[in-house]
């Protein structure tokens, strides 16, 4: 039986709730504070949920209560001198961009969707295409306010309360509820990106482009055709982008900081499970490789460069009701090439097609105890469900662990506690802070219980 109220707030039952990958799902009870002062842990086990853009079970709490932050989304204060924006943690990157791009400011780090909350970005310590230059999201957070298990509101920052700050950045909501974030924005002169595409014939060329200073840019990423095999293993298109300067734009553009608004097109129904299979994905990869490889240097709106998938609302329905698995790992520089080669060979050999495969270079590791990035290469794969997928992914985990890497918590739905512990050597430091600020284990999630991080 779902209680009618928890912590004085009316509850809502969310049956079969999932993350963005729609796997796994669980029945959850949620409260949705409408006022800032109502943002509190409730019941014996609580978890903040932002926009539900993590893929697996990080934002599920089937044994407790979800605290939805979506109504606490005000932008509070902006200081043009320092570029620091103070906002409630339920505000999304889309909210920030809509308000700030026309004023000449951009978010300092962005994942591949703008429909993420600021709290979710700090809790996952997200990275973007500029990680090798600018680090993770937390590197640009001047301070954050966290509501702790005892209801106390504490402001922490890299200089003051740094233990709590670095446990919260990447801590997946397990230290408390982030209620406010002060974020240092990046100045821009236009809303347009100058982009360069370069075709890479194999993995060595792709990695060469990602790591060669002569080809570097602020934002870089490589799309891989993960079904290519043999001599073409790891072929792809390297994409490098910079914020364009006003003099690079066509003269007819009146205001370089304004883009014509575009309505996202909805993806209207679930595709049947068989629609995405190695044959259709191979065809997509071949066409994509051809189209993107033909484009060399061009200008495009920032939305098209950073958020190509946001243009289709609910694109995750393309994978059908069974959902899909996002698998993202990082390997340190020394083993990244060999490990990635082994993973691509396994994908190709077992015909486990990935609709999108994105390879990215990471810069130095940050101080977040459970932050994902480390210096090296990261690959993100979208794999639809098929026979034997679990066993196959366990095989990928083995390669990742053997090469000293780790799997990303914000994308994970199935790794074992053992794989997790092998990849996150600072877990002990995280647990010490958690024990100090949450001694009764009031913050927990389906992910934390699966991985043995907390109740
Ligand atoms: C299309 C797509 C592309 C993506 N690309 C990238 C990428 O390039 N790089 C990257 O790093 N990630 C990427 N992601 C993952 C995404 O950025 C993260 O999962 C992010 O955390 C989602 O934010 P959210 O508000 O939806 O959080 P949710 O999914 O709702 O929650 C994620 C975690 O954050 C916690 N949390 C949320 N709000 C708060 C809060 N206020 N206080 C404390 N904890 C909180 C939750 O408890 C949960 O553990 C992508 C996701 C999608 C769907």
Contact 170, 123 (CB under 8 A): yes
Of ligand 1's atoms, which has the minimum distance to the CA of residue 146? 42
Nearest-CA residue for atom 17 of ligand 1:
111
Boundaries of every domain in the chain: 5-68, 75-188+427-451, 192-421
Q: List the CATH code of the domain at 192-421.
A: 3.30.70.2520
The residue contributing the CA closest to ligand 1 atom 11 is 126
Mean pLDDT over each residue of the chain, to the nearest integer: 92
Q: What sign does the dihedral 430-432-434-436 (CA atoms) show?
A: negative
332 pLDDT above the threshold of 90: yes
CA of 162 to the centre of ligand 1 (A): 22
Atom of ligand 1 nearest to the CA of 137: 11
Cα dist. 248→88, 130, 296, 305 in Å? Answer: 36, 21, 16, 17
CA dist list (Å): 208 to 213, 249, 356, 386? 9, 30, 21, 33
User: Residue 267 has what pLDDT?
Assistant: 61
- pLDDT level of residue 266 (50, 70, 90 thresholds): low
CA of residue 368 to ligand 1 center, whole Å: 16
pLDDT at res. 344: 93
Sign of CA dihedral 167, 172, 178, 181: positive
In Å, the largest CA–CA distance within the chain is: 64
Ligand 1 centroid to Cα of residue 124, in Å, is 6
**What percent of the chain shows pLDDT beyond 70?**
93
**Of all atoms in ligand 1, which is nearest to the CA of residue 124?**
21
Task: Kindly state the average pLDDT of the residues 390-406.
Answer: 97
Q: Which positions ≥6 away from 336 have C-beta within 8 Å?
A: 207, 376, 377, 403
Residue nearest to atom 51 of ligand 1 (CA): 53
Q: Which residues, judged by CB distance below 6 Å to any ligand atom, belong to the binding site of ligand 1? A: 20, 47-54, 58-59, 69, 89, 111-113, 116-117, 119-121, 123-124, 126-128, 172-173, 177-178, 309, 410, 445
Task: Among 124, 125, 454, say which to mutate for ligand 1: greatest number of ligand atoms within 8 Å of CB.
Answer: 124
Q: Which atom of ligand 1 is nearest to the CA of 173?
A: 44
Q: Ligand 1, atom 41: nearest CA belongs to which residue?
A: 119
Lowest mean pLDDT across 90-94, 251-255, 379-383: 251-255
What pLDDT is attached to residue 321?
A: 73
- Range 396-409 average pLDDT: 98
Pick from 442, 452, 450, 451: nearest CA to 173: 442
Protein residue whose Cα sits closest to atom 47 of ligand 1: 173
Cα(355) to centroid(ligand 1), Å: 21
Spatial contact of 424 and 359, defined as CB atoms under 8 Å apart: no
The pLDDT value given to residue 318: 72
Q: Which residue is closest in CA terms to ligand 1's atom 14?
A: 111
Instruction: Please give the distance, rounded to the nearest whole angstrom, from the Cα atom of residue 233 to the centre of ligand 1.
Output: 31
Backbone angles phi, psi at 237, to 5 degrees: -125, 125
> Rounded CA gap, 348 and 184, in Å?
42
- Choose one of 59, 135, 438, 444 to mutate for the ligand 1 pocket test, by most ligand atoms within 8 angstroms of C-beta: 59
Q: What is the pLDDT of residues 153-201, one digit of tens each?
A: 999 999 999 999 999 999 999 999 999 999 999 999 999 999 999 999 9
Mean pLDDT in residue range 62-68: 97
Q: Note the pLDDT of residue 383.
A: 87
- Locate all alpha helices (DSSP H) within 212-258, ordered by sequence: none
Checking if the pLDDT of 312 tops 90, the result is: no
CA of 118 to the centre of ligand 1 (A): 9
Burial grade of 218 (CB within 10 A; 0-12, 13-18, 19 or more)? middle
Query: What confidence category does residue 254 fall into, taking pLDDT thresholds of 50, 70 and 90?
Result: confident
From the CA of 390, how far away is ligand 1's center (Å)?
23
Ligand 1 centroid distance, CA of 336 (Å): 25
Tell me if the domain spanning 75-188+427-451 has CATH number 3.30.465.10: yes
Question: What is the C-alpha separation between 4 and 43, in angstroms, rounded?
Answer: 12
The pTM score is 0.95
Distance CA(340)–CA(224), nearest Å, equals: 11
What sign for the dihedral angle of Cα 328, 332, 333, 338?
negative
**Tens-digit pLDDT profile for residues 75-99:** 999 999 999 999 999 999 999 999 9
Q: Please report, rounded to a whole number, the percentage of residues in the chain having pLDDT higher than 90.
A: 78
Q: Model confidence over 407-451: pLDDT tens digits?
A: 999 999 999 999 999 999 999 999 999 999 999 999 999 999 999
């Amino acid at each position: 039986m779902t209680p009618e109220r928890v912590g004085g707030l009316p509850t809502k039952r969310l049956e079969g709730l999932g993350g963005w990958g729609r796997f796994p799902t669980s029945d959850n009870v949620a409260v949705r504070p409408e006022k800032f002062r109502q943002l509190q842990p409730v019941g014996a086990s609580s978890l903040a949920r932002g926009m539900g853009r993590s893929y697996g079970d990080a934002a599920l709490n089937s044994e407790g209560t979800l605290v939805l932050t979506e109504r606490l989304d005000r932008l509070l204060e902006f200081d043009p001198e320092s570029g620091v924006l103070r906002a409630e943690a339920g505000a999304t990157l889309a909210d920030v961009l809509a308000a700030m791009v026309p004023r000449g400011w951009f978010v300092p780090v962005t994942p591949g969707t703008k429909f993420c909350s600021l709290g979710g970005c700090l809790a996952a310590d997200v990275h973007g295409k500029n990680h090798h230059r600018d680090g993770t999201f937390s590197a640009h957070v001047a301070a954050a306010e966290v509501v702790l298990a005892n209801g106390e509101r504490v402001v922490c920052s890299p200089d003051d309360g740094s233990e709590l700050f670095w446990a919260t950045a990447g801590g997946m909501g397990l230290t408390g509820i982030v209620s406010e974030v002060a974020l240092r924005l990046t100045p821009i002169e236009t809303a347009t990106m100058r982009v360069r595409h370069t075709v890479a014939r194999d993995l060595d060329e792709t990695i060469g482009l990602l790591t060669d200073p002569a080809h570097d840019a602020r934002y870089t990423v490589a799309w891989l055709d993960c079904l290519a095999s043999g001599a073409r293993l790891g072929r792809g298109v390297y994409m490098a982008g910079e914020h364009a300067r006003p003099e690079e734009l066509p003269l007819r553009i009146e205001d370089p900081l304004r883009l014509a608004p575009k309505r996202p097109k909805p993806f209207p129904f679930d595709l049947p499970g068989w629609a995405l299979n190695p044959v259709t994905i191979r065809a997509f990869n071949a066409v994509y490789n051809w189209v993107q490889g033909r484009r060399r240097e061009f200008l495009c709106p920032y939305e098209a460069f950073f958020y190509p998938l946001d243009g289709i609302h609910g694109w995750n329905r393309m994978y059908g009701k069974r959902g899909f698995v996002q698998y993202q790992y990082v390997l340190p520089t020394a083993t990244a090439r060999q490990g990635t080669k082994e993973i691509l060979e396994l994908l190709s050999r077992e015909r486990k097609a990935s609709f999108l495969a994105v390879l990215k270079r990471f810069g130095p590791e940050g101080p977040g105890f459970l932050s994902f990035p480390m210096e090296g290469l990261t690959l993100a794969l979208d794999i639809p469900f098929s026979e034997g997928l679990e066993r196959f992914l366990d095989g990928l985990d083995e390669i990742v662990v053997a090469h000293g890497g780790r799997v990303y918590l914000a994308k994970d739905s199935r790794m074992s506690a053992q794989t997790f512990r092998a990849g996150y050597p600072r877990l002990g430091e995280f647990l010490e802070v958690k024990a100090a600020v949450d001694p009764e284990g009031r913050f927990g999630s389906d992910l934390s219980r699966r991985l043995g991080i907390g109740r």
